[in-house]
Amino acid sequence: MKRKNLLQSFNQSRREFLRTTAMLSAGVAASGLLSSAAYAAREKEMNIYCWEGYNSDKVLDPFRREFDCEVKAQGLISDPEAVNQLRAGDTKVWDIINLNNAWGRKQLYPEGLIKPLDKAKFEPLWDMMIPEFKWPYKWAMSDDGENLLGMIQRYGPSGVLVNTDKVSAATLEDEGYDLFLADDFKGRYAVLMYDDWVVMHVAIAAGFSPFRAVTDEELAKYEVLMRKLINNAAFLSDDMNAIALGMINGSIDGSFPGSVYTVSAARLDGNPNLRCVVPNKGPEELGGRAGVRWMELTSLVNNPQLSPRGEDFLQYCYRPETCKNVSFAEGTYNPVGQMGDPRVMALFSAEELDAFQYDTLEADMNKCTDFDIIPDYTRLHDIFSAAVREKA
């Protein structure tokens, strides 16, 4: 594979993203008004709404050829926005939805937005998984443990990013988020504008869990830290490659927040000094964990005209070669749960494993709490939005 030049960011701007999504949604939704003959033809098409990677031609082209199927894939940059689009009627648009782990169990399935999988087909495939995701894995199952809600594949820890030539990983581990919020770090970092992730990490920096209702006292402390974080940043960007470039050229020393995938491409391109670091200490109520570990759940949308190719695609994603292609899709490299299978692990070189920090992956995951729903997201996000407007 030809590595993507970091100067050619694959991330769309929010405006372009929304415009493209609207056009695709309108076009595909119109097909819902077609005849039963057109419905039968759905086995020749499939539509995926996903985080970057699953929309890669490297992943999709072999499937298109084998199943003689037209596949349209649209990238997303916000779990809450994607959930709201399904609620608004886009279950008629998509066949596959790929979101972070908690949404399926806590909202998509209870609201009837996704369909459970056939356990007889998928449970045997779970033998490929790493021990942390052994069957039955909580986030892949319904609350009662009866239904399998999707496939777990990519995962990773989220903390902050740093150029270790400027700040050692050990220093950042010990000082944690306080280092980024110190006055002498002003102008030395960027904020990665994945809104809910900024909200989560600032809440943890303020000393409380974002995954429960927030007190007024906690909200006041969170507001102080959020305004300082945003106002003191060198720049704000939802383009992780632009942030990586800033760390490479020395215009910034780090990023708040960041995961292994946000620097994995840069590391493979010869910049091992860029690193995702998870602080050592977090709130007591989170077991002292300061990071957030995410796992993606890929599910069948409860589409009234669901493409039969949807289930085929999920099974296809368990093939060792596909696991590797998903892990190393263009521009973003991630570990996958199926690395518990020796056939999958054999496909990775030492250089590729180092790209997503395999040497500290288990330790970093253990310093993270599981990604979850943020009950007070609206209140917390309003403060975030106000800080962004203030900086502008």
As a whole number of angstroms, the distance between CA 113 and CA 86 comes to 7
Same domain, 267 and 380: yes
Whether 390 and 313 have beta carbons less than 8 Å apart is answered as no
138 plus 28 within the same structural domain: yes
Asked whether residue 4 is assigned to any structural domain, the reply reads no
d(CA 76, CA 4): 20
Mean pLDDT for the stretch of residues 302-309: 96
Do 44 and 109 lie in one domain? The reply is: yes
**Can the peptide bond before residue 110 be classed as cis, meaning omega within 30 degrees of 0?**
no
pLDDT in tens, 116-143: 999 999 999 999 999 999 999 999 999 9
The residue ranking higher by pLDDT, 20 or 81, is 81
Cis, peptide link before residue 335, omega less than 30° from 0: no
Per-residue pLDDT tens for 33-74? 445 665 567 889 999 999 989 999 999 999 999 999 999 999
Answer yes or no: is 364 within a domain.
no
Residue identified by tokens 């999958």 is 344
Find out whether 245 and 239 touch, Cβ atoms under 8 Å: no
Beta bridge partners of residue 151, listed in sequence order: 298
- Are 25 and 136 in the same domain? yes
Q: Clarify whether residues 246 and 299 are in a common domain.
A: no
Residue 37 in any domain: the answer is yes
Task: List % helix, strand, coil for the chain (3-state, nearest 5).
Answer: 50, 15, 35
Residue 14: per-residue pLDDT? 39
**Residue 131 CB coordination number (10 Å):** 6
Report the number of distinct structural domains present in the chain: 2
User: Do 133 and 182 fall into the same domain?
Assistant: no
Q: What is the pLDDT of residue 392?
A: 87
Residue 28 pLDDT > 70: no
76 has pLDDT over 90: no
Given a cut of 60, is residue 91 above it in pLDDT?
yes
> Is 30 within a domain?
yes
Q: Which residue has the higher pLDDT, 297 or 19?
A: 297
Is 9 among the domain residues? Answer: no
- pTM for this entry: 0.88
Q: How confident is the model at residue 8 (pLDDT cuts 50, 70, 90)?
A: very low
Mark whether 116 and 162 lie in a shared domain: no
Same-domain status, 264 and 348: no
Q: How many CB atoms lie within 10 A of CB 283?
A: 18
The answer to whether residues 237 and 384 belong to one domain is: yes
Residue at 363 is within a domain? no
pLDDT tens for each residue of 222-265:
999 999 999 999 999 999 999 999 999 999 999 999 999 999 99
Task: Provide the 10 A C-beta neighbour count for residue 123.
Answer: 13
The answer to whether residue 8 is domain-embedded is no
Same domain? 150 vs 201: no
Is the pLDDT at 29 greater than 90? The verdict is no
Residue range(s) defining the domain that contains residue 113: 14-155+295-358
- CB-based contact 1:328 (threshold 8 Å): yes
- Report the CATH number that the domain containing residue 181 is assigned in CATH: 3.40.190.10
Instruction: Classify residue 346: in a domain, yes or no.
Output: yes
Asked if residue 282 and residue 172 are part of one domain, the reply reads yes
Same domain as 230, residue 374: yes
Per-residue pLDDT reduced to its tens digit, 161-179: 999 999 999 999 999 999 9
